[in-house]
Structure 1
């Protein structure tokens, strides 16, 4: 499959170095302007979201990148920060598009398209979102009619940010000096307190909402999907229907009995499968064996890089509907 030709104005992230440099700016919150990162499905030559339409709509107010996630895996290039979930908040692949606000990475929003028709609709949604971000950036306007004006505004913006940052640093240093003085005075006047005794507080695990594992996973999948999409997107692209096999609930109950966090991991895995974002999934039986009704067995990752990592086995029926089979340990290939 030949790659799509490069388009003027689009920045291409096709090497490990380019991807690492870009996400270094993201994680250090050094983006001066919103960045829109578009990817393509692994089986397509071009993204569903049309880059030329996107550039025409917001090319003068945002930087637009194309990331070939099939060639460069972000997880292998971008180191995780202190929080284990940070990489999940910036990762983008398999046809999804993520918008990174200027100066922030923890509020990046994900847009998904599962066909060229949905891709054109997402251009309008992304455009509206980027413009809403700019409305919260202060009095300096970034809406320009030409690329020359856009470059001039960007240079002015960088200068304003440097001046503002220096002023803020000066104020912070003065504030730290005062707080240190107050702390020193309070320490001298306050008598030493006795060490506290008693039981060490224990953090409760994530609370389960339903006794039935099928209902629990359906609830968590719906909640995750609801958080990631707008009301308009829910109407345009409803969550695909799926079913549970007879052994799913029992397998999940057994493995999550002493690991409540597994429930959320399984729900995230299911949502990736339903949205076509499961880049690690593969057929369970490489010989091509199918069920009597024509369904094909698949295997996906619930956990990675951990002892006895869990896997999810499921059936993909003719027509694409998913039937969840069972949750297993990584050495178990039954379904």
Structure 2
């Protein structure tokens, strides 16, 4: 006797009333089969979920519906307005498992989107696997599709359930891996955004600082001493916290006859460093900074040579602006007996002139 198997069918939802009825049916406590909804885009697309394959493979174990993206899908979405993220339209597909837990836990009813032919194949496969998972979760057997005659044969239900369980386990592992990949991608994206914001912030600060320097340069174009004193004061206000400004106030200082001319040959970076070290000298911080290698200038290369001292008792000191090169710069300054400072000059490492 020939086995007669009726081909699974699907239901076309083509009116707003039918769409609302379907939405209400999803929450029917007596519903015993998963609902598979495949929508069609409003305009022709290059990739579509293979509705024929979906119907053939799972139409016997789930209820398959087709819906156009139109006022019909809008009515369906409106009927589900209390449960954001559960709608389906625009060529996407979705499986609604038995029960209503999916309305709160969206991962139980993932939306399968389609943007290309390749994605359509993947979405079709995913939708079929979603349906099998929903059937398995509901405790249904996939062994006997509707329409098999009494004398027909069917697959062994035990084998089907075992295969289905293995497939679900595989998909669970794959899904876990994808979630990990997604989380890592989100972290990388967040880090990249923060890094860009930091770079943009620094760039903005650099532009502002450059604009301030240019404005200052114009303001003191004819008075290099006032320009230098202004730069030192600004560097001090930025370098020293408000709570320490009284303790680390700028000492009284004067400029030696050759000091400003020794600055003229410096690059912008070298001049900025000279200003920074000047702040350290005037606040006394320089004595605690090993990198400045502060020491008195001596009259000879020997460590026992006498220090360079003026008749008023002031001693000439050196502080390093740069390191490990004969062209490294040194700040020479006089420290008077009353603690006041006279900035003498900026010299090369091997230049021992006061």
User: For the superposition of Structure 1 and Structure 2, which TM-score range results when normalised by the shorter chain?
Assistant: 0.3 to 0.5
If you compute each CA radius of gyration, which structure gives the higher value, 1 or 2?
2
Per the normalisation by structure 1, the TM-score is 0.38
Higher helix share: 2
